[in-house]
Structure 1
């Protein structure tokens, strides 16, 4: 089964120099699930990050996938915008899986560098497996922090994917799993601010820690 996973210790070590000015990231298959086609859920409002829906790509997901972001909105406008587009990156990744398109423009719109490479590799794994997404995917306990440069924002949040399943595209069979420590993940995303006329915060580095005990509910 495909897994949305990353060992960020390796990622950040490999891109420590780039982190000072740009991007980073890496892959590993440690311990987390995002299992794998119709689409239909409406795309999210982008008002929190300052751009109209007309400026943004479709990030709709299948009607039988419920993406839940149980977050409090940060009081800091910059951090709120970064968190909103971190959510859009997650939506875009699932949109690409549902579309079965490793080159889907949605995730490319919300990411650069290794975060973009990571999204592409995840979508490719689902396409190879013949899966799409279904169920309920819940994200919670978000926190944000502006880095010392006053520009970039670090976003952290938890995930419970116990009810998030893969579905075989050909047979429509849902590949159900039981909740375990593997169901819980900790996401860390380095968000870069808009440049030029853009109002989009882009994910440059993503860390996904599997078997995250600190995220167990």
Structure 2
């Protein structure tokens, strides 16, 4: 894992993200990720991480979906918390797909504004297609950078979905695909700090770059 100062690209992203958050808009027209990935009727395999005292929603996923987060924990407590809840946001999105619920409370707990709309649009696409998630979905090479104004943390990481597939809910058929350039994606999330008595960092914006060469 690498942690570094906010780059110009990340700074531009963060500025745009802040404007989106202020306006409570954006993101409704993103193209869904490639549908690749567990049977909604299976038993869950993992739950949310975070402070023990926080009442968090279930983000478990079915046993035939394995989410691998090869992340290193930052030494800074705030950045570590932001990274942990960025992971929970991804888990919540997968939980919503497995539950076939575009209004699933899990992703709504871990996101606001555009990031929440992004998750909803992804779940809706899977539900419309009649698919659920299956296989192994891997996330790695995380980068964590605090915004200079102290109002957020930008979390970036790679994704390899080569072994994550779609599974027909109706027939149970798994749609296997070969690894290719589309298997690799780069995620960038703006995580906003907790408010009030909450200990939860929430994703405010989600940016996903396809065919990410840096992740191969």
**TM-score (structure 1 length as normaliser):** 0.86
Q: Please report how far the alpha carbon of residue 25 of structure 1 lies from its aligned counterpart in structure 2 after TM superposition.
A: 4.6
1:202 aligns with 2:205: no
Structure-2 change in CA distance of 1:52 and 1:39 (3 Å): farther
1:93 aligned partner: 93
Conserved 8 A contact 1:184-1:215:
yes
Conserved 8 A contact 1:51-1:199:
no
CA distance in 1, matches of 2:110, 2:71: 19
5+ unaligned residues in a row in structure 1: which ranges? 1-7
Give CA-to-partner distance per residue, 1:23-63, whole Å, 9 cap, x none. Answer: 66524438x5242522423443523xx3536x000101111
Structure-2 change in CA distance of 1:196 and 1:209 (3 Å): same
2:36 aligned partner: 35
CA distance in 1, matches of 2:215, 2:99: 30
Q: Secondary structure at the match of 2:96?
A: helix
Q: Please report how far the alpha carbon of residue 211 of structure 1 lies from its aligned counterpart in structure 2 after TM superposition.
A: 0.3
1:80 aligned partner: 80
5+ unaligned residues in a row in structure 2: which ranges? 1-8
Conserved 8 A contact 1:12-1:24:
no
- Which runs of structure 2 are paired with 1:88-167 in the superposition (5 Å)? 88-167=88-167
Conserved 8 A contact 1:23-1:205:
no
Q: Please report how far the alpha carbon of residue 20 of structure 1 lies from its aligned counterpart in structure 2 after TM superposition.
A: 7.8
CA distance in 2, matches of 1:25, 1:51: 33
Give CA-to-partner distance per residue, 1:105-161, whole Å, 9 cap, x none. Answer: 000000000110111111011000000100000000001000011230000000000
Conserved 8 A contact 2:35-2:126:
no
Conserved 8 A contact 2:30-2:118:
no
CA distance in 2, matches of 1:43, 1:22: 34
Q: Secondary structure at the match of 1:95?
A: helix
CA distance in 1, matches of 2:15, 2:192: 19
Aligned residue pair count: 204
Give CA-to-partner distance per residue, 1:49-98, whole Å, 9 cap, x none. Answer: x3536x00010111100000001111111010000000000000000000
1:211 aligned partner: 211
